[in-house]
Each structure stands twice: as C-alpha cells, then as structure tokens.
Structure 1
Amino acid sequence: MPKRILYWFRNDLRLHDNDGFFRAMEAGDEVLPVFVFEPRWFDGLPTLDFRKTGIYRAKFLLESVADLRHSLRARGADLIIRVGHSAKLLAQLAEDSEAEAIYASKEVTQEETNTESDLSKRLKPINIDLELFWNSTLYYPRDLPFWVSRLPNSFSQFRTEVEAKSSVRPPIPTPDHVPFGGGIDAGELPTLETLGFTSEQIQAASQPDPRATIRLEGGETAGLKRLQRYIWEKELIKTYKDTRNGLIGEDYSSKLSAWLSMGCLSPRLIYQEIKRFEAERVQNESTYWLIFELLWRDFFRFVALRYGTRIFKPSGIRLNLNKIWLNDLDLFKKWTQGQTGIPFIDANMRELNATGFMSNRGRQNVSSFLINDLGLNWTWGASYFESLLIDYDPCTNWGNWNYQAGVGNDPREHRYFNIYGQGIRYDQQGAYVKHWLPELANVPAEFIHSVYTLSPDDQARSGVLLGETYPLPIINPNKWTVEEKNR
C-alpha cells in the first residue's frame, strides 16, 4: 500500500513556500490535504457582544480556502474540508485513510497549541505520528543568533542581531503536481450562513461599502497578484516609507498583511521579491522599510513563542499588576461604534466597522485613545480588533496592544498619542474624517479635528448639531490643543 501523509492546512493557506506541505510530498507516495473549520472560531463573546471571528474575516477565510482547493484541483488533487473538532476529526480521518503521519505547520499561541497537544494524544494510541513544521516567519527559530528563551526585550536589539548574524532562507517552489490519495469524500465548503451569520451581515459583507478603497479578496491567487502589482507593476515599494502613514486609498501601503495573516503569502517570498527588485531596479530606504515591517512581524511571533499566554492577559508580558483598567461597557461601545465625539477616532472606527480594515496610523491612535484617554481594559480593544480586522494575526495584534498598553516590548514607559495633533498632522484638510463621517462634510478644515469647539452659529452654518447629529466628546479634549500650543 502506498505511504500516505495527511497534510493539515492551518494558517498556511498556500502552495508556494510551504515547508510542511513540501515535506509531506517528499515523505509520502500520496498526500491528503485537509482543512477543518472549527465552530468555536465563530463563537460569540457574551460580555462584549460580538463574535470571536467576525463577518469580514470569516469571508476572507472562506475565499482563501476555496482558492486553495482550486489550486490543488488544478494540480491533480483536492482539499478535504470538514467542520467540527479538529483533533477528533483529523485523528479519525488519519486512521480511516491509513495515513502514516499528519504533517502541519507549527503555531505558537494557546488555542492552536492546545489543539496540537490534543491531536498528538489522540494519535499515539493508533501509532500515527504528528510532525510540525515552522512556516510563518522570515527567519526560522533555529536560524536565530540566540535561543528564543533569550529573545531580546527590544525590537531594535532583535533586528540588529538578526540582520547581522542570520539569513533568510530561499522560498520553496510551488509544486506542479500533487500526488493525491483519493477515495475520501472531499466535503463541502461551509457558507457564511452555515457558520451562523445573519442575512443582514452577509449582505453587508457581500456588498462592500462604496467608501472602501480596496477589496481584500482571500486566497493565494489574489495575494500573489497584489504582490506583483505593488512591487513590479506600479513600483509602489519605491515610496513606501513616505506614503505608509496614509489614510485613504489602495496604494499608500502594501496591504499585504491580510494575505500574510492566513498564510496565503509567504514572508520569505515577499522578501525575495523585494531583494530582486532592489537588484534589478532600485534600492532605497523605502524598499528596506517593508523588510523592516516583516521583521516586526517576526519579532511578535517570537515574543508569543517565548511568553505564551501572558500576551493575552491585562498584565501583559511584563506581568504588570499595578495598572488598573476600567471595565466600562458603555464607554467601550461608544469607542467600537465610532461615537466618541473625537472625529479622528470615530472615522477610523467606522472604517473598521464598514470594511474590516484600518490603517496602521489609525490603529495606533484608536488603541492609544482607548488605553490612555478612556483607561479601558486594553484586552477588550484587542478582542474587538481580533473580531473585525481581516488581517488579524494573534501574535501581531496582541503584541501591538501589549506594546501600546505599556505592558509589552517597549522601552518607553508611557506611549501616548495626542489625537488632535495626529489628526492635524496626517489629515490636515479633514479629507479622511469627512470620507467616513459625512455628517461633518461641511465643517471647515480648520475645525474638523476640533468640531466640538464650534459655536451654535458655526454649527448651523456647517449643518451640524452637536449632541444630536454628531456626539459631544466623551472626554475633555482640551488637553491636546494645549499640548500642541506648548510645542
């Protein structure tokens, strides 16, 4: 009988540069590719009144799995799809198909590693091996110049040492043919409806908000197209460092994070393409800066590997038990709904709610506002991002929130953003605010970030009624303008 390897796809939904899948094809005469949808991914968070995985991320996931199935079928194979308890289903499938082993990518955060442990325990009595492969970062752990247990506390030190002493492995080619072990029902791809989303949610996700400036379509195919377009067709990487703090448009940043988050794109492939661009066209600070961002992503992955569940706790990786966080649901809902009365915050939150996307500049501001100005439990904000952001990645998301909350890898004790100053700096004419807050469309540019200062006559001229058509601020914002004047 041919040697069969069951390959369990997880957050590596691609065929290019997939170490685990490549090893499965090397080791087995036949490969059984499998993906399991876990219903618990879509559970509601009762206290916070939203789902762990919201509609936008769920849609992107379905598209990514459908694209993977299409790619496998084009190479003579198929993707076996199941819905249920991963460890239980995989162990049963491996036994029924007489697989010798299950291969998969290694994950680092608690829920995923718990599933790995559960699966391993179920496989031992039936003498089936579980082999896990590192698949998610530029650098493999064994290629780092230090043990992960000795990971530097600062990103700067991490970057300096890694760039000086380590190298990025070349990506593994995409297979032309996949030797498939058939005879098993491939199963149907679930729908948003079967995953429990309402018809209203599905309709909203299926008809993108006309104000959205990019359509993020899931899958390796779309990710590779975006990479090709961004680097080679439009050469946008040449100006990345200058444009990356933009707020409106498709091309001010790479937008590759969504495909990276589900493994539709390999960071090593991106690195290779940047290096090729530098060799063939131009090398400058901007081309390096995208590599710099990939290094940040690596750093947060290794932070999660080192500190485990601490990244998910209010005390963070520093175990800072002295910080007290408010658990005020009313305030939190005003933040989530973009009803804080602070235009720059509300515009960013409404973009997130309408599209599943928010710029990096926006994320830093809304998280700083929740943490420093509202004093709310930062883990609530991280959970909201987890639900809504299409490009959610547990290590990057929770690592960044640790960082902002002052309980993570930040040499600065107090990372604070002057929201008014940020609005003036990055949206001086208020184009972004007006894009997402149409009720402020007629407010003069000089008042757009301090709309709460408008007199009754100015409100009437601008078609705004504070407290009715646009909310009054939920904090006293005067501290920001005083801060700006004192600079």
Structure 2
Amino acid sequence: MNNLVWFRNNLRVDDNIALSEACKSSGKTIGIYCFDPRCFAKTTYEFKKTEKFRAKFLLETISELKENLLQKNISLLIYFDKPENVLEKVIDEHDISIVFTQKEWTNEETDVNKNIKNQISTVTFKEYYDQFLFHPEDIPFENLKDLPQVFTVFRKECEKKVAIRKTNSISSKSKENNIDNKTSIPHLTDLGFEEFDVDQNTTFPFKGGENQALKRIENYFFETQNLSKYKQTRNGLIGSNYSSKLSAWLANGSVSAKTIYWKVKQYEEQVEANEDTYWLIFELIWRDYFKYVSMKFGNKIFQIDGILNNKYDWKFNKKAFDQWISGNTNEPFVNANMIELAKTGFMSNRGRQNVASFWAKEQQQDWRIAAAYFESILIDYDVHSNYGNWIYNAGVGNDPRDRKFNIKRQAEMYDGKGEYQKIWLK
C-alpha cells in the first residue's frame, strides 16, 4: 500500500508536514498536483479567477517542485483537471491507502474535499495545518471564538506564550520509489493565456518556486542586508528591494512562514537584531492573524457586511469600476498604483491601502468586486490576507479605528517628488 501527497498551496519540499509524514509511512510516496480549470475560469464579475501573472508564477513553481521532488526520488503527477476527476483513478492505479494533504478551511477548498471524500471511501485522508507561524494547537486561546478582535492583543499573547515550531526536512527515497510518470506540466497557453514578457518597470521581477524563494531570502537578508532596514523602507514604491517581496512565495506555499522566521533569527544572530528585523516577523504575525480570522468567521469574510455586520450604503457603478481598474480616476496616486497592478500583477502595500480606501471609503463602492479583482490579478493573492485586508479597509473587519486615507497627503509623504507616478502615468 502506497502514499499520495496531494499538493495544494504547500508547493515545497522543505518544511512540508504532509510530505514529511508521507515519507515516514511504509510503501511508495507519490505526489500529485492538479491545475484546476475552475481556477482559470471567469467569475461572475467577468474576469478570470486567476490571471496571467499568477498563472505564470504557478507554472514556474510546479516546475521547480517537480524537479526538487525528483531529486528525492519522488514522482509528481500533474493534471490539468479537477481533483474530483483525477484522484480516484490515481488512487486505484497506484494502490494508495493514505492521502496526505494540507488542511484547508475556506469554502471552495473544503467543497472539493467533501466531493472527493464522498467519492472515495477506500483511503484515509490525513490533513495538516501547515500555513501558520503560530500553529493552531499552540495559540493561547481556548477555542476560536476567543480569538481577539484586535490584532495587537493577538500578537502580544502569542509572542508571550507560543514557541515557534522547528522546520522539518525529508531524506531522499530509494530509486525504487520512482514510478513511470507520463504526465507533464501544461503551458501558459493551455491555461488560456498568451505568452508575455514581464514589464521592465515591475518591482516583482522574480520567478516562482521554492529555490527562488530561498534565493530571495539569501539575497535580501545576507547578501545585501536589506533586512536591517526593512521597517524603514517597507512603505516604498519603486524597485525590488523596498520590501522583502516574499508574499508571492508564501501565498502558494513555496516557502513556509516558519522557514522565514528561523532565517530572520539566524540573521539576528549572525548580523544584527533591530526593530527592522523584528518587523518582518511582525508582518508574518499579521498574516497568521488573517488566517485565524477567516477560520473563526468562515464565509463572513466574503460577505458585504463583513465580520462586524456593519451596514453601509454600498453602491456599484460599472463606469467607476472600469475607471478604477484602468487608472482613470481623479486621483493620480491611485491611478499610478492601479496601472502598475494591471501591468505587473504587483503593487506595494502602501499602494494597496490607498486604492482600497479610495474605492471603499471615498467612492463607497461594493468592496467585494474590488477584492475579486485583486484575487484575479495579484501574483501574491492569498485568500485570507486578501479578504482580511479588504474587510479591514472597508470598515467591516478588524480595524478598531475605521480609518480613511487622505490620498493626496499619502502621495506627498510617499511620492513627494512624483517619481513613482512618473513611471506609470505616461
């Protein structure tokens, strides 16, 4: 009897609990990844659920995953099909007794799980929480309903009481573990996109994959020591080094939050520890918090009144939406950020907060369509962070101050000479 590792948003070999546990079990270990056509179809808002930028990054990621697994003598079966159409056949063909995978809780992922488990009763499913810095079993709250409504309370409690778990790795399997694998990675054109060149002005010129993530950590931390000034530069807008840019690899699980945490700790021991090095960990804790918020509130994070049930008079104007996404509003700073996003699939954190505040607070337009647009186009889309940030910015989430940005003032503070706007407002 053999083991199947079903890869989802955990597209790495190092510090992957499902893979590590599968490799400890007797029998062969085989990997599988499905490019689910539903992820590339049009949504009710008439744009694709996954646009070309993230699709390209994902293809690069799977290519590295396949290669890295092969080096451990583990085969990765790859399909452009729904998991519901593939898993049962693979389980039968390869005499699988246990399916190891990452535990999910948002509805689209759990619906797929239910469909598969209803189909297949012959195997055991073992699912592991593997997306967190603070593991769900370790956080100092009796149950999820006790999760603090304010991030600072969550952060302080966890920092005081939770030890970050160590990372894990796997040894190579014997050559007998390899199977005859005739599957192949689809091309961008198979997913419905034309090949494209990356915009020369992008602040995210990186490729997908675990090796690329580790290379970026090595460069940003140890080679350039940019980590030592992270807090001072993280609100930048131009160039690839104003922030760590690790979000895209974190989003599809090419690297784990724990790996980054322990690399920061290594840096603090070998180079220096300061407020800037801590601030990267601070951002990882925010990421955790949004995951716990989505776990606590479920589908409320996708609903117009959010987790607070705040009632606003939300509108939706198609013309206003088209102007927002094409960078044709009355705010040049918003326009520059939205054009950067459309051309590169990436935007700074400072930009995201401003364009969200403009859409939700100034225009008072339905934040959900804007969140769905971000889901489509962002290279670093993560369901929990994306919707957590949108409900926060729309005043229906975890912002105790319900702030609204003064966009002209923000432009003066962060782009005083207009250099960023000059790049994109040609």
The answer to whether the superposition gives a TM-score over 0.5 is yes
TM-score computed with the length of structure 1 as normaliser: 0.85
Name 2:60's counterpart in structure 1. 63
Kindly tell me the number of residue pairs found equivalent between the two proteins: 425
One-letter amino acid matched to 1:52: K
Name 2:140's counterpart in structure 1. 145
Tell me by how many angstroms 1:179 deviates. Answer: 6.7
One-letter amino acid matched to 1:347: A
Q: Distance in 2 between matches of 1:180 and 1:11?
A: 28
Name 1:258's counterpart in structure 2. 248
Cα deviation per residue 1:325-361 (whole Å; 9 max; x = unaligned)? 1111110010000111311000000100110100000
Change in Cα spacing, 1:286 to 1:179, as seen in structure 2 (3 Å) is farther
One-letter amino acid matched to 2:260: I
Query: Which of 166, 171, 178 in structure 2 is aligned with 1:175?
Result: 171
Cα deviation per residue 1:178-216 (whole Å; 9 max; x = unaligned)? 77644453411111111112x3xx23xxx1112223312
One-letter amino acid matched to 2:123: I
Query: Which of 19, 22, 43 in structure 2 is aligned with 1:21?
Result: 19
Change in Cα spacing, 1:178 to 1:277, as seen in structure 2 (3 Å) is farther
Name 2:98's counterpart in structure 1. 101
Q: Distance in 2 between matches of 1:334 and 1:174?
A: 50
Query: Which of 116, 123, 140 in structure 2 is aligned with 1:119?
Result: 116
Cα deviation per residue 1:124-151 (whole Å; 9 max; x = unaligned)? 2xx2111101111111100111122321
Tell me by how many angstroms 1:381 deviates. Answer: 0.8
Higher mean Cα deviation, 82-91 or 363-372? 82-91
2:96 is paired with a residue whose SS is: coil
Q: Within 5 Å, give how 1:262-281 maps onto structure 2.
A: 262-281=252-271
Q: Distance in 1 between matches of 2:185 and 2:174?
A: 20
- Which segments of 5 or more consecutive residues in structure 1 lack a partner in the other structure? 439-487
1:51 is paired with a residue whose SS is: coil
2:4–2:96: 8 Å Cα contact kept in structure 1?
yes
Tell me by how many angstroms 1:280 deviates. Answer: 1.8
2:33–2:78: 8 Å Cα contact kept in structure 1?
yes
Higher relative contact order by CA 8 Å / sep ≥ 6: 1 or 2? 2
Tell me by how many angstroms 1:108 deviates. Answer: 2.1
TM-score computed with the length of structure 2 as normaliser: 0.97
2:73–2:172: 8 Å Cα contact kept in structure 1?
no
Q: Distance in 1 between matches of 2:5 and 2:377?
A: 29
Q: Distance in 1 between matches of 2:180 and 2:395?
A: 51
2:416 is paired with a residue whose SS is: coil
1:315–1:407: 8 Å Cα contact kept in structure 2?
yes
Query: Which of 206, 222, 229 in structure 2 is aligned with 1:232?
Result: 222
Cα deviation per residue 1:227-261 (whole Å; 9 max; x = unaligned)? 11111111111000100000001111000001000
Cα deviation per residue 1:359-399 (whole Å; 9 max; x = unaligned)? 00000000000001111100011111101110000000000
Q: Within 5 Å, give how 1:238-387 maps onto structure 2.
A: 238-320=228-310, 322-387=311-376
1:15–1:175: 8 Å Cα contact kept in structure 2?
no
Q: Distance in 2 between matches of 1:282 and 1:213?
A: 26
Verify: 1:159 aligned to 2:147, yes or no.
no
Name 1:12's counterpart in structure 2. 10
1:88–1:122: 8 Å Cα contact kept in structure 2?
no
Structure 1 outlier segments of 4+, above 6 Å: none
Cα deviation per residue 1:265-324 (whole Å; 9 max; x = unaligned)? 11101000111111222111000000000000000011111111110111111222x212
Tell me by how many angstroms 1:177 deviates. Answer: 3.9
One-letter amino acid matched to 2:74: A
1:368 is paired with a residue whose SS is: helix
Name 1:212's counterpart in structure 2. 202
Q: Distance in 2 between matches of 1:117 and 1:90?
A: 13
2:30 is paired with a residue whose SS is: strand
CA RMSD of aligned residues (A): 1.3
Larger CA Rg, structure 1 vs 2? 1
1:43–1:52: 8 Å Cα contact kept in structure 2?
yes
Name 2:384's counterpart in structure 1. 395
Tell me by how many angstroms 1:114 deviates. Answer: 1.1
